[in-house]
Structure 1
């Protein structure tokens, strides 16, 4: 994969992770979950997770070291565990919320709570986000060691995913600020890849 698609994937993923909280309703009630903004915001996040996996895989092809390959594998595993929860939040909760509003009955929303806080889905969700944090930290270390990209250019993206779980417990403006942080990290790394690899062949290094 050439640097341009890799940079585009990082940039697009970062932008989508900002779009997610920016357009998602701040509440978690039936009205919010039934809205088109809920669907659009969560869909943006899901596409962002997919693009992040592709971007980290592309980063390995740019850097060519073993650590970036491990980072790609861990990031893909994290995205795989995270996406089922987001899929249910995006589509399942919307159906439940719309039925609740249509029937003017709050009882169906109890199903939403059962899913969102169930032991299995929450455990998968948390494990996926922890793996995404680990994968992006590994990618940042690989960038730091590369000698071809600015050392700090992967750190903001890594910080964004390290903070992905904690930001859920803050006020909603903090969640939007977190989205801006992830976007800044994606754009910075995209620019670093374009500028750092311009006119340079892939290193093909296999050292750990």
Structure 2
């Protein structure tokens, strides 16, 4: 990916991670899960994870160091572990909630809890988000060490992903604020890649 394409991916990912909590219903009941807003918000997050992974690969091509390559690899693994949970939550719970409302069978929503807090899915989900946080932090350190981009330009995005799990346990306005933080981080890094360079670009390397 070129620097412009990677910058666009960072910007788009940041915006989508804001759209996720802004569009997603604040509740977790059947009405919320059966809504179109539930589908739209969670789909935005899934696309955001994919774009983030692609953007970090582009960042490595710009910086050319081993740490940024590791950041991209760790983030790809994190996205791979996180996306199955998001996919099931987006589409599976949506179908269950619609059936629960249509048949007036609240007991069906017990299936949602069984999935969301099942040992294997929640472990994969948590592990994926931890890896994504690690990848974002590694990328921020790589940016800080480089002579290519402004030192602080990767910190907001790293902080946003470091707080991804904790924000689930806060009130809904905190989740909106978290989305704003990630959006700011994505836009900041995108702007840095387009026009905020300092010094000479590092030598670009390729994978393999």
Which aligned pairs between 1:70-109 and structure 2 lie closer than 5 A?
Answer: 70-109=70-109
Secondary structure of residue in 2 paired with 1:107: helix
Retained in 2: the 8 A contact 1:19–1:41? Answer: yes
For 1:62 and 1:149, the matched residues in 2 are separated by: 10
Retained in 1: the 8 A contact 2:61–2:205? Answer: no
- How many residues are paired up? 206
The ranges of structure 1 where at least 4 consecutive aligned residues each deviate by more than 6 angstroms after the TM superposition are: none
Retained in 1: the 8 A contact 2:150–2:197? Answer: no
With the length of structure 2 as denominator, give the TM-score of the two structures: 0.96
Retained in 1: the 8 A contact 2:14–2:187? Answer: yes
Which aligned pairs between 1:1-208 and structure 2 lie closer than 5 A?
Answer: 1-197=1-197, 203-204=203-204
Q: Runs of 5+ in structure 1 lacking a partner?
A: none
Retained in 1: the 8 A contact 2:146–2:202? Answer: no
With the length of structure 1 as denominator, give the TM-score of the two structures: 0.96
Q: Runs of 5+ in structure 2 lacking a partner?
A: none
User: Following TM superposition, by how much is the alpha carbon of 1:204 offset from its aligned partner in structure 2, in angstroms?
Assistant: 2.6
User: Following TM superposition, by how much is the alpha carbon of 1:202 offset from its aligned partner in structure 2, in angstroms?
Assistant: 5.4
User: Following TM superposition, by how much is the alpha carbon of 1:148 offset from its aligned partner in structure 2, in angstroms?
Assistant: 1.2
Secondary structure of residue in 1 paired with 2:106: coil
Retained in 2: the 8 A contact 1:61–1:202? Answer: no
Aligned-pair Cα RMSD in Å: 1.6
For 1:5 and 1:201, the matched residues in 2 are separated by: 17
User: Following TM superposition, by how much is the alpha carbon of 1:197 offset from its aligned partner in structure 2, in angstroms?
Assistant: 4.8
User: Following TM superposition, by how much is the alpha carbon of 1:203 offset from its aligned partner in structure 2, in angstroms?
Assistant: 2.0
For 1:123 and 1:2, the matched residues in 2 are separated by: 35
User: Following TM superposition, by how much is the alpha carbon of 1:21 offset from its aligned partner in structure 2, in angstroms?
Assistant: 0.1
